[in-house]
Amino acid sequence: MYVELKNINKNFGDFQASKDVSFGIEKGRLVALLGPSGSGKTTILRMIAGLEKPTSGDIIIDGRRVNDLSPSDRGIGFVFQSYALFRYMTVYDNVAFGLEILKTPKNQIRERVNELLALTDLKGLEDRYPNQLSGGQRQRVAFARALAPNPSLLLLDEPFAAIDAKVRQELRSWLREMIYKVGITSIFVTHDQDEAVEVADQIIVTNKGQIEQIGTPTEIYKTPQTPFVSQFIGQGTVIEDYYRLRGFEKGNYKGAIIRPEFVEAFKNDNDRFADVVGISEKGTITDILFRGNSLEVRLDVEGVQLVTHRSLERRPIEIGEVMNVIIYRVYAFDDERAYLLENEELKKKDVNNVHLESYLYSNEGYFVV
Amino acid sequence: MSKRIIPGFHLTLGITITMLSLLILIPLASVLVYSLRIGPAQFFKVVTDATVVAAFGTSIIFSFIAAVINTVFGVILAWVLVRYEFPGKRILDGLVELPFALPTAVAGITLSKMYSTTGELGAPLAKLGIYVSYTHLGLTVALIFIGIPFVVRAIQPVLEKFNPAYEEAAYILGADRRVTFQRVILPELGPAMLTGFGLAFARGIGEYGSVIYIAGNSAKEHTQVVSYIIMQKLNYLDYGSATAIALVMLIISFLLLLFINIVQVYQSRRTSGVYEVASQTTGDALPQPQAGRYVMIAVSVAFVLLMLVMPLLSIIRNSLSKGFAFYLSSLDTQYVKSAFAVTLIATVLTLIVNTFFGLVAAWVMTRFQFKGKQVLATLIDIPFSISPVIAGLSFIMMFGRLGWAFPILEKINDTFGTDIQIVFALPGVVLATIFVTFPFVSREIIPVLNSIGTDEEEAAALMGAKGLTIFRRVTLPHIKWALIYGMILCTARALGEFGAVNALSKTRGVTFTLPLEIDALYLAGDSDSIVAAFAVSSILVIIAVFVLVLRNFFEHSEKQKMAGA
Ligand SMILES: Nc1ncnc2c1ncn2[C@@H]1O[C@H](COP(=O)(O)OP(=O)(O)O)[C@@H](O)[C@H]1O
Ligand SMILES: [Mg+2]
């Protein structure tokens, strides 16, 4: 493990911002700390950086316990949420600052700064001041400034928060590529699951100062282990009496999360679903919302309110229409954990998902559906 | 330009420009016109006169020195007030404002007495061979006294908004406290420091009340300040010289204002767009050397105790030095009662006029974009940076026997059989008081109006609300505290105005205000009169302290409201 946190606790007065946080990160990984606002992500990042002292626990970077090392001795680079570029320094001076502090000879500074400006595509902007740059350019300057002294761990706090939604998409892939190009172990904080899934190769989910789950984006998405993760990831709705749905039995659970993609609603005459019509149940469309690239369909099934998405390519539907509905699976949960429950009848029928699933994850409905 | 949604542009702009012209610009122009009348040769002769040049030298040099000292202590005080928590911090914060609230004449006689060879501080210092009163040192002390709030109040808000991430960014990159301060914090504070410095400097050059008692006013010792010279020329009825010197002073003030404006433009060039609000406090792992912190707090407290609290206590002590019965009897004279009445009338009228102007001007300055707005803003601020003596002079040159408006006034009196007097009469006192406190209310409201934006008013306007309704229902609740505070500050300054009124009021017991009465008592020189002067002063001190407490209260409730929002 390149970075390791062992039983970290952090108190601000009476308030506990980190509760027994432990995790390890391998060298070269790009890790996301994902959680809702106020869940303690920034606090963890700042403790790794040395900007906050943990109340108890150890922080280990590259085999060394760094608790008592100052930030500048930890070999880290930090990109602040609002970048904190020095407003009275040019782009060049911002990037050169850390090297000047290290008393690097002038010509080497020039060389390194030019190299970084080329890498971050900022050539020609050396003499600009931060307020003469776009949001994306500022992010790149902050990135270059953090990398200048050659850190071996890069920490980024909400690196996309200060950027317009439009360019954010672009910058995500840019940052991902850039980090792999530089080959630096990186941890970034985000509250946006799309961002985490898209950029990171490992996700640490935080909630109320605790770590909920650690895993690859797919693991987090497909096998949420806690009630919190099953609700936080995806657009699931919580349903208490899920056992009223066909194919599910009452167990020792408090409720279940059903994501839209777990629900299939099809018309009676749809050939594709001919062999499963028998195990479907009736659901009435109560509302249809246009979501740009798809429809969000709300259904009433046996008094249970469900949500599913429907491709615009499929046949039109209307409010009040009765559909056949199959629920593939749900995440049931108790107080502690989340459990994946498959539709029993579907399982018995042995059509198990194979074609439904391939249907589901294809571009949906070809033409006749 | 798109059609304005918010109503009242033409009306408020019209009122603003009319009031500004009548009350400030035309009187000031009268000085200009008269000084040009004396001819270039005479003008040159007056302003190059050895005494005048020496006075300019004295005013500029010692105001500069005081402003530099104030900038150093201002940064320390602002830093301590923003960054550290310690018991009594709010009191310290309130005390910094004392020189704004305390009448300059009261400050003047107090400092002069305190630092005289028999005074609380003067006596021990004299033993060490250091003489303060009636020397350049005394002059500097008085100028430090009146200048400190300008610097602190300029730096404080910048430091409050200062994002701690800047410091942390530097720290992560390996910079130590010194380098971080020099390269990251100082550039951020620079413009505010220069603004504070400029304001303190400008105020110092024009200062009258607080310096004339302690400066010595000796031509030989070069302890005469420019305001004193103007006043002297006025007393000799040498209006030509007075206006010529005033003109030079006006030019200097104007240049300083220009300098401050340029600094602010430069600042917004670097910071606009990357403006951000501090979202958190600095991390607990940042080095905050305890020793340094205690030294900073100690320096701040010592500065405030020595420069601001000691004078305050000295007033009380002096006023009671002949017993409480004497204290009461010295307040119970015909002169004091008359002065009290005059002061009250002038203050109430000033408050009405300036509050009305403040609201109208703030509305036009924050709700509309128009050509020449910056110029208008600068013009409104003029009374801040010019000597109060020039304010008095302006009205003499307008309505006095030699003023251009005098014949008009005569004609009116002839036609209507009235006997309206302005100069050396109550109206002059009122006009002078209005002049010097003119921007006080608008200055408090403008930042608040700017920060809340125009969305709510536009919404109300779109729903068909009329101008006055919008103002009363939407705007007023937002600016209530700022308005009240501006009015309190205006009241405090109006009660204590000295230099301007001094030039325009000559009859004790008739047109004298409280500060003039204090001046008369103090200059009488016998020990009874001096104690009486302090007794009268103590009333103004109580009002000043009351103002500080109110300010503190309002600011606190405002902050709590913001925190709750
Ligand atoms: N310096 C501090 N003092 C007091 N409370 C703090 C401080 N920093 C963070 N907190 C609290 O700790 C919690 C977690 O904060 P943070 O780590 O910034 O969350 P996140 O980055 O996930 O939004 C919040 O409730 C916040 O109010
Ligand atoms: Mg955060």
Neighbours of B44 (CB within 10 A): 11
Say if B411 falls within a structural domain: no
pLDDT at site B52: 95
Residues 6+ apart with CB under 8 A from B187: A86, A87, A88, A89
CB contact under 8 A, A86 and B184: yes
How much of chain B exceeds pLDDT 90, in percent?
A: 61
**C-beta A12 within 6 A of ligand 1:** yes
**C-beta A39 within 6 A of ligand 1:** yes
**A187: helix, coil or strand?**
strand
Q: Is the pLDDT of residue B556 over 90?
A: no
Give the structural domain span for B206. 57-223+272-319
Distance CA A58, CA B252 (A): 63
Residues of A within 8 A of B175 (CB-CB) are 72, 97, 101
**CATH no. for residue B285?**
1.10.3720.10
Mean pLDDT of B360-375: 89
pLDDT at site A313: 82
**C-beta A38 within 6 A of ligand 1:** yes
B240-281 pLDDT per residue, tens: 999 999 999 999 988 888 888 787 777 767 766 554 544 455
Number of cross-chain residue pairs from A and B with Cβ atoms under 8 Å apart: 90
Say if B115 falls within a structural domain: yes
Measured from the CA of A45, which atom of ligand 1 is nearest? Answer: 17
For strand A153-157 and strand A185-190, is the pairing parallel, antiparallel, or unpaired?
parallel
B446-492 pLDDT per residue, tens: 888 888 878 888 888 888 888 888 888 888 888 888 898 889 889 98
* Identical fold between A3-223 and A237-364: no
**pLDDT tens digits for chain A (369 residues)?**
899 999 999 999 999 999 999 999 999 999 999 999 999 999 999 999 999 999 999 999 999 999 999 899 999 999 998 898 998 899 999 999 999 999 999 999 999 999 999 999 999 999 999 988 988 999 999 999 999 999 999 999 999 887 888 888 888 989 999 999 999 999 999 999 999 999 999 999 999 999 999 999 999 998 999 999 999 998 889 998 889 999 898 889 999 999 998 898 999 888 777 778 888 999 999 999 998 888 999 999 988 999 999 988 888 999 999 999 999 889 999 998 999 898 888 877 765 454 455 444 444 433 333
In this prediction the ipTM stands at: 0.82
Say if B554 falls within a structural domain: no
Contact call for residues B231 and B159 (beta carbons, < 8 A): no
Phi, psi (rounded to 5 degrees) for B235: -65, -30
Q: Is B363 on the interface with A (CB under 8 A)?
A: no
Q: Tell me the CA–centroid distance for residue B289 and ligand 2, in Å.
A: 27
End-to-end CA distance of chain B: 34
Say if B90 falls within a structural domain: yes
Say if B331 falls within a structural domain: no
Distance CA A80, CA B377 (A): 37
Architecture of domain A3-223: 3-Layer(aba) Sandwich (3.40)
CB contact under 8 A, A87 and B279: no
Ligand nearest to the CA of A38: 1
Distance CA A281, CA A266 (A): 11
Say if B550 falls within a structural domain: no
- Atom 2 of ligand 1, residue of closest alpha carbon: A12
Q: Tell me the CA–centroid distance for residue A37 and ligand 2, in Å.
A: 6
Q: Is B284 on the interface with A (CB under 8 A)?
A: yes
Measured from the CA of A43, which atom of ligand 1 is nearest? Answer: 17
Interface test with A, best of B85, B272, B274 (most A CBs within 10 A): B274
pLDDT at site A148: 94
Measured from the CA of B280, which atom of ligand 1 is nearest? Answer: 1
Say if B535 falls within a structural domain: no
Distance CA B107, CA B207 (A): 12
End-to-end CA distance of chain A: 50
pLDDT at site A365: 37
Determine which of A336-350, B103-117, B428-442 has the lowest per-residue pLDDT on average: A336-350
B183-200 pLDDT per residue, tens: 999 988 888 899 899 989
**C-beta A40 within 6 A of ligand 1:** yes
Burial B143-153 (b: 16+ CB within 10 A, else e): bbbbbbbbbbb
Task: Indicate the pLDDT class of residue B288, thresholds 50, 70 and 90.
Answer: low
Which position has the token pair 């600052």? A97
- Closest chain A C-alpha to B288 CA, distance in angstroms: 12
Q: List, in sequence order, every residue forming a beta bridge with A265; answer none if it has no partner.
A: A325
B310-327 pLDDT per residue, tens: 999 999 999 999 999 999
Q: Among all residues of chain A, which has the CA nearest to that of B268?
A: A131
Q: Among all residues of chain B, which has the CA nearest to that of A145?
A: B173
Which position has the token pair 């990160």? A25
pLDDT at site B281: 57
CB contact under 8 A, A87 and B284: no
Q: Among all residues of chain B, which has the CA nearest to that of A138?
A: B274
- Closest chain A C-alpha to B163 CA, distance in angstroms: 8
Strand extents, DSSP E, chain A: 3-12, 15-25, 30-34, 56-61, 64-65, 76-79, 153-157, 185-190, 202-207, 210-215, 237-239, 255-258, 263-266, 281-290, 294-301, 304-311, 322-327, 329-333, 338-342
pLDDT at site B243: 94
Contact call for residues A146 and A78 (beta carbons, < 8 A): yes
Q: Among all residues of chain A, which has the CA nearest to that of B163?
A: A84
Which position has the token pair 């249907």? A359
Q: Tell me the CA–centroid distance for residue B484 and ligand 1, in Å.
A: 36
pLDDT at site A361: 43
Residues of B within 8 A of A52 (CB-CB) are 283-285
CB contact under 8 A, A131 and B274: yes
Total domain count, chain B:
1
Mean pLDDT of B143-162: 91
Q: Which of B310, B100, B137 is nearest to B215 (CA)?
A: B137
Q: What is the 3-state secondary structure (H, E, C) of B156-225?
A: HHHHHHCCHHHHHHHHHCCCCHHHHHHHHHHHHHHHHHHHHHHHHHHHHHHCCHHHHHHHCCCCCCCCCC
Measured from the CA of A13, which atom of ligand 1 is nearest? Answer: 4
Which residues 162-201 of B are in CB contact (within 8 Å) with A?
163, 165-166, 168-175, 179, 183-184, 187-188, 190
Residues of A within 8 A of B274 (CB-CB) are 85, 87, 130-131, 138
Q: Tell me the CA–centroid distance for residue B160 and ligand 1, in Å.
A: 19
Q: Is B285 on the interface with A (CB under 8 A)?
A: yes
Distance CA B253, CA A191 (A): 54
Domain A237-364 has CATH 2.40.50.100: yes
Domain ranges of chain A: 3-223, 237-364
**B419: helix, coil or strand?**
coil
Q: Tell me the CA–centroid distance for residue A43 and ligand 1, in Å.
A: 6
Q: Tell me the CA–centroid distance for residue A350 and ligand 2, in Å.
A: 47
pLDDT at site B273: 58
